Structure 1
């Protein structure tokens, strides 16, 4: 088996992973004031949040064209790969991964496995890294997909956002009644349920919200059948992310905590200053 791994630009990937020659990343478009930007290509996270502050219209995201994906898959096949695992952001956020299934059989000479991560950002990037590593070890496609499924089933995140308007207007918050929370100055804790972003709890302040999440992380550590790695993910708020990493490591010195960031696509929905605390099996 000659394996290629495809993912999209919402995955947070380490520099080492980005250098893998059998990794291919498809960019997701962001539309800001009528201008289309390709995430990770012609706009970076820091630049995007600066533009977001001065934008006149509510930003939107789009799916990559299926024709573009078809061309990418065919190009990979032409390079001699016979197997592709295509790992993408949650179907609860975008229908992109489901749409890929309609073109997977159209590419000759390669078998394509589309994989719904049911999440995004660092936990999804971890799945990509695992798939690449297992491929290098010569593991079978069945072994890789089984491990990815195990990781997916035990990965999630808590999200603390400053403003629910982006999520509600973008249709990405399933229980939209949570808009009441922002009107009452409640700081909600969000999470992923079946790949959809939902309100987990409503808290009265940011300080209490972070304290509650830290307690919930302790519960995750205890009940997980696997050792976990954790990610503090920020939307242009590195200072808060560093403080939260320090707080987590002080409470749970045995855990591995990494800092990463939300790119333009996820940042569009969560808004600036959002903080996510995600985890995945190591």
Structure 2
């Protein structure tokens, strides 16, 4: 435990690798994945890969953690001797998880909880969580952390390449004509998080190879040579393409503080479909 007794709380949409969560003071509350036969806890009794593999047969519903799950996580944090909590949570533009955590945290006895809406998800939220853990190892004070986390969120940008338009059409996010035409032209939209925290299309390219190049171009455009950055790559049940994204991006930005990689959570997968690719950058300015 760090001397200031500070823990980090996040949700399963952060895609924090399990081995890293076990070695850091990171606690994860799972979102709910509901099928016709019952509900599962994301990352607990169902994996992202299992959800991706079941998508052709059934698109599940996703929902935020219930209050009891959040309360249980906070109680565990308190029982383990922590006194303060940095709650770094999935975008409020796509989920009510942040509002729920903030509300319960304000009333939870014996813990000081500071909740942050990352306005991001997947590798964007995860990188913020892991950099916060790095700050804890460096001995940053609670007051410093309360100032640093919003700056991290502001300086974190992620992009996702969608492999198929089918699930956007099934979810009512694009029309049938757009779906048919886009599929015939092999269109691959690239999404990012808008300032509101909602996903928005930023580019459209034809073909998987071109989408990977454009994905990495968009990240590189955010990079200033010589700056201190974290780089993020991820995939949704597409490991070979995920490795290609990693190879291309790291060849363009060879100097970085950390490279975080993970599998994209099934919450985003349900929204846009399988074989999603992600890449992002986090600019570190704490010593500027």
Global fold match (TM > 0.5): yes
- The verdict on how the C-alpha distance between 1:88 and 1:169 changes in structure 2, with shifts beyond 3 A counting, is farther
Instruction: Write out per-residue CA displacement over residues 158-190 of structure 1, whole angstroms, 9 at most, x where no aligned residue.
Output: 11112344346557xxxx458765332232221
Q: How many angstroms apart in 2 are the aligned matches of 1:138 and 1:217? A: 30
Is the 2:87–2:113 Cα contact (8 Å) retained in structure 1? Answer: yes
- Show the counterpart of 1:209: 211
Instruction: Write out per-residue CA displacement over residues 200-250 of structure 1, whole angstroms, 9 at most, x where no aligned residue.
Output: 12223333333323322221113x894222222111111111122222233
- Secondary structure, counterpart of 2:43 in structure 1: coil
Are 1:42 and 2:45 counterparts? yes
CA RMSD of aligned residues (A): 2.5
Is the 1:123–1:278 Cα contact (8 Å) retained in structure 2? Answer: yes
Query: 42-51 or 58-67: which moved more?
Result: 42-51
- Show the counterpart of 1:12: 15
TM-score (norm 1): 0.86
- The verdict on how the C-alpha distance between 1:118 and 1:180 changes in structure 2, with shifts beyond 3 A counting, is farther
The 5-angstrom pairing of residues 1-282 of structure 1 reads 1-20=4-23, 22-53=25-56, 55=57, 57-167=58-168, 170=171, 176=173, 181-185=178-182, 186-194=187-195, 195-222=197-224, 226-255=227-256, 257-282=259-284
Instruction: Write out per-residue CA displacement over residues 98-128 of structure 1, whole angstroms, 9 at most, x where no aligned residue.
Output: 1222222321111111111111222222221
- What are the ranges of 5 or more consecutive residues in structure 2 without an aligned counterpart? none
Is the 1:228–1:280 Cα contact (8 Å) retained in structure 2? Answer: yes
Is the 2:89–2:98 Cα contact (8 Å) retained in structure 1? Answer: yes
- Secondary structure, counterpart of 2:14 in structure 1: coil
Is the 2:123–2:158 Cα contact (8 Å) retained in structure 1? Answer: no
Instruction: Write out per-residue CA displacement over residues 69-116 of structure 1, whole angstroms, 9 at most, x where no aligned residue.
Output: 123223322433221111111111111101222222321111111111
Query: 115-124 or 17-26: which moved more?
Result: 17-26
Is the 1:11–1:120 Cα contact (8 Å) retained in structure 2? Answer: yes
Q: How many angstroms apart in 1 are the aligned matches of 2:54 and 2:271? A: 15
TM-score (norm 2): 0.85
Is the 1:8–1:26 Cα contact (8 Å) retained in structure 2? Answer: yes
- What are the ranges of 5 or more consecutive residues in structure 1 without an aligned counterpart? none
Cα shift at 1:144: 1.0
Q: How many angstroms apart in 2 are the aligned matches of 1:265 and 1:231? A: 18
Is the 2:161–2:215 Cα contact (8 Å) retained in structure 1? Answer: no
